[in-house]
Amino acid sequence: MDSINKAFEIFEVFLNNDDELSINNIAKLSGINSGTVHRITSILVKRGYVTQPKRRGKYFLSTAKLLDFAKIVQQKLKIKSIAYPYLRELSQNVDEAVVLANLLGHVAFIVAMVNLDHMISFKPESSTLSLYSTALGKIFLANMSEKELQDYTNSVLLKPRTPNTVVKVEDLRKQLKQIRRDGIAFEDEEHELGIRTVSAPVRDWEDNIIAAISVVGPSVRMTKQRMQEIAPIIKNYALKISHAMGYTKNSL
């Protein structure tokens, strides 16, 4: 039983980090000795849950397995089919790309994307996004309990992806407080230079946040003034999707 627990702990380290990890990284994050980490990670590689592109190189969670898990989530919630017409309409309304994501462990998993040709830069293989550096992710973080948020900041290294990335926990908490108050999240080139985003939550009939939607655009078009103009529009569409998912209130 102890070995099973350790296997899940190591798997969760991969699930909660979107970076490539060495055996030493995994041992440090899991608190498990490196010998055990190496043995269990080797098994995860053989089973296809973890990938090691280069011999003696670093490891990362298999995108194929994440896609399998996402399909299960989509089948359970059916949110993609419900939300997609609204995403398409929102994209046409603001003339920018739109993304829908679910929370998967300590990362955001992209479920649907619309009008990607409007984006200057996009990596289609990047199906997961960090929470602390994206507007989508901050929607999920802002609605975590204190314990969940503490667990997140204890287990995920906030490292700079761009010069704008918030890497101090106290600064992140200030942002999350405002997001909870306003019901909207802004990202100013924090995850990728040249890209700004505006995000809003999607809720279900029990008032739980089950997804987040985001308008994504290049900073040359997505000025800070334009982000403010988009904010009430995306909140309106997030509310429409929420109502379609059974949410009964008139605001998010």
pLDDT digits (tens, 9 = 90+) for 118-167: 554 444 445 788 999 999 999 999 999 999 999 999 988 899 999 999 99
More confident residue, 246 or 213: 213
Q: Which amino acid is at 83?
A: A
Q: What is the pLDDT of residue 19?
A: 73
What CATH number matches the domain at 2-61, 3.40.50.720, 3.40.50.300, 1.10.10.10, 1.10.10.1150?
Answer: 1.10.10.10
Separation CA 140–CA 192 (nearest Å) = 19
Q: Which CATH architecture has domain 70-244?
A: 2-Layer Sandwich (3.30)
Residues of the chain with CATH 3.30.450.40: 70-244
For residue 161, the surrounding DSSP H or E stretch is none
More confident residue, 197 or 63: 197
pLDDT in tens, 73-131: 655 557 888 999 999 999 999 999 999 999 988 889 888 889 766 554 444 445 788 99
Separation CA 208–CA 112 (nearest Å) = 20
Q: What are phi and psi of 109, to 5 degrees?
A: -110, 125
Q: What is the pLDDT of residue 205?
A: 87
Helix, strand, coil shares, percent, the chain, to 5: 50, 20, 35
Which residues are CB-neighbours of 132 under 8 A, at least 6 positions away? 138, 141, 156, 158, 165, 166, 172
Where do the DSSP E strands lie in 153-241?
A: 185-188, 195-203, 209-218
Q: What is the pLDDT of residue 209?
A: 93
Q: Which one of 154-158, 206-210, 218-222, 230-234 scores highest in mean pLDDT?
A: 230-234
Structure tokens at 159: 């490292």
Residue 170 pLDDT class (50, 70, 90 cuts): very high
Structure tokens at 10: 């190591």
Separation CA 90–CA 84 (nearest Å) = 10
Q: What is the pLDDT of residue 53?
A: 75
Q: Which amino acid is at 222?
A: M
Strand partners, 195: 218
Residues of the chain with CATH 1.10.10.10: 2-61
Q: What are phi and psi of 178, to 5 degrees?
A: -70, -35
Q: What is the pLDDT of residue 191?
A: 93
Which residues are CB-neighbours of 17 under 8 A, at least 6 positions away? 29, 106, 107, 156, 157
Separation CA 98–CA 91 (nearest Å) = 6
Structure tokens at 21: 């990890």
pTM above 0.85, yes or no: no
**Rg of the chain over all Cα atoms, to the nearest angstrom:** 18
Structure tokens at 118: 């409007």
Q: What is the pLDDT of residue 74?
A: 55
pLDDT in tens, 16-60: 776 788 888 888 888 888 888 888 888 888 887 788 877 677 887
Are the C-beta atoms of 2 and 10 separated by less than 8 Å?
A: no
